């Protein structure tokens, strides 16, 4: 029986499937893993391309677009392997990309999820924005990576080639134990897209599991293929979902203080957009805060459950500093500089 299901969630990505699926088929050991495409209600010819050009790929078809989070939740219900890889449709994989991650997880039962080293498809000497060599978070919910702090992306010179514990594994290429994924509730479908993998990883960590980056596995990610950088819709989802994630997971002793600071930082972001005459993104931040407040009551039961099931008082790798302060005021642009004293 195969141990791994590689699940690619597709929505109107016909050309990306033609471009990137061949590497997944070629470099995925068919004795070890199956390759699945879950079509999220596409209106292009994605389904026909899979059926006609990739008959070796398992096809799962949904009649509507459930978004990234709920789409993966529904797709994972269709597989029964021990491990699942959530793989974006714009990822090129490399030879033996599965084996080192699987070997590590097989040897470490307390590891819930892993990610490979993720480099940019457009410039393969650089780390990729969404995940790089593993993700972390500052005190106020801002994510950063080994290899990327805000928009400062490092060149890969082997500086992060050692396996490392991380706070979050990117949803662009996340290896996860299927039973634990189901146990903690999977990705939060109410998020629709963005921040949902960090929220999931926070739940894993709070319940005593570890997360890892295994850089001996390497993939190349285009990134931004669905919503481009600083797209107002992306800005809205990132700000709203980040606030919801903090509300769901922060310990009670921190919640009010962190949220007061986030309110200030979010309005500073609004001013920043206005100074650039970017009224659409400024409006997206305001709308995100307004909708967070209206949605918060619906998330109260999830918050209570997360706090009740938490086994860890203080989670590692959620650092106690502000990356805005360190990056914007102190000029620290790399992960190594960020965590240095």
Regarding the domain with residue range 4-221, which homologous superfamily does it belong to in the CATH classification?
A: Spore Coat Polysaccharide Biosynthesis Protein SpsA; Chain A (3.90.550.10)
Q: What is the DSSP letter of 126?
A: B
DSSP H or E stretch at residue 151:
none
The per-residue pLDDT string of the chain (341 residues; one tens digit each, 9 = 90 and over) reads 899 999 999 999 999 999 999 999 999 999 999 999 999 999 999 999 999 999 999 999 999 999 889 999 999 999 999 999 999 999 999 999 999 999 999 999 999 999 999 999 999 999 999 899 999 999 999 999 999 999 899 999 999 999 999 999 999 999 999 999 999 999 999 998 899 999 999 999 999 999 999 999 999 999 854 445 568 999 999 999 999 999 999 999 999 999 999 999 999 999 999 999 999 999 999 999 999 999 999 999 999 999 999 999 889 899 999 999 999 889 999 999 999 86
**Residues 241 and 196 sit within 8 Å (Cβ to Cβ):** yes
> How many other C-beta atoms can be found within 10 angstroms of the C-beta atom of residue 48?
11
Q: Look up residue 10 and give its two tokens.
A: 């597709």
Q: Among 338, 340, 336, which residue's Cα sits nearest to residue 322? A: 338
Distance between CA 239 and CA 216 in Å, rounded? 33
**Strand pairing partners for 92?**
220
The structural domains of the chain, with segments of one domain joined by +, span 4-221, 232-311
**Residues 282 and 274 sit within 8 Å (Cβ to Cβ):** yes
């Amino acid at each position: 029986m195969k141990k791994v299901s590689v699940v690619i969630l597709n929505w109107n990505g016909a050309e990306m499937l033609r471009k990137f699926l061949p590497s997944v088929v070629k470099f995925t050991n068919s004795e070890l893993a199956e390759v699945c495409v879950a079509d999220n209600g596409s209106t292009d010819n994605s389904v026909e391309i899979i059926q006609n050009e990739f008959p070796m790929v398992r096809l799962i078809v949904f009649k509507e677009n459930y978004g990234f989070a709920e789409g993966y939740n529904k797709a994972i219900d269709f597989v029964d392997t021990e491990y699942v890889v959530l793989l974006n449709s714009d990822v090129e994989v490399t030879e033996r990309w599965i084996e080192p991650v699987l070997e590590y997880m097989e040897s470490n039962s307390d590891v819930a999820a892993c990610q490979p080293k993720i480099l940019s498809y457009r410039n393969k000497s650089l780390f990729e924005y969404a995940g790089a060599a593993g993700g972390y978070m500052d005190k106020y919910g801002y994510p950063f990576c080994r290899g990327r702090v805000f928009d400062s992306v490092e060149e890969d010179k082997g500086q992060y080639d050692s396996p490392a514990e991380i706070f979050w594994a990117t949803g662009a290429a996340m290896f996860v134990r299927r039973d634990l994924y189901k146990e903690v509730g999977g990705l939060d479908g109410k998020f629709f897209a963005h921040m949902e993998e960090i929220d999931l990883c926070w739940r894993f960590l709070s319940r005593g599991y570890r997360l890892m980056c295994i850089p001996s596995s390497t993939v190349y990610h285009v990134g931004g293929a669905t919503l481009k950088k600083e797209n107002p819709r992306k800005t809205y989802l990132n700000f709203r979902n980040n606030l919801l994630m903090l509300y769901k997971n922060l310990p009670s002793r921190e919640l009010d203080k962190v949220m007061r600071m986030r309110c200030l930082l979010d309005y500073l972001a609004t001013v920043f957009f206005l100074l650039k005459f970017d009224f659409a993104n400024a409006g997206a931040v305001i709308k995100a805060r307004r909708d967070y407040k209206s949605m918060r009551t619906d998330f109260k039961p999830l918050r209570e459950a997360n706090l009740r099931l938490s086994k860890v008082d203080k989670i590692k790798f959620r650092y106690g500093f502000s990356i805005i302060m360190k990056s914007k005021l102190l000029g620290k642009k790399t992960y190594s500089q960020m965590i240095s004293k």
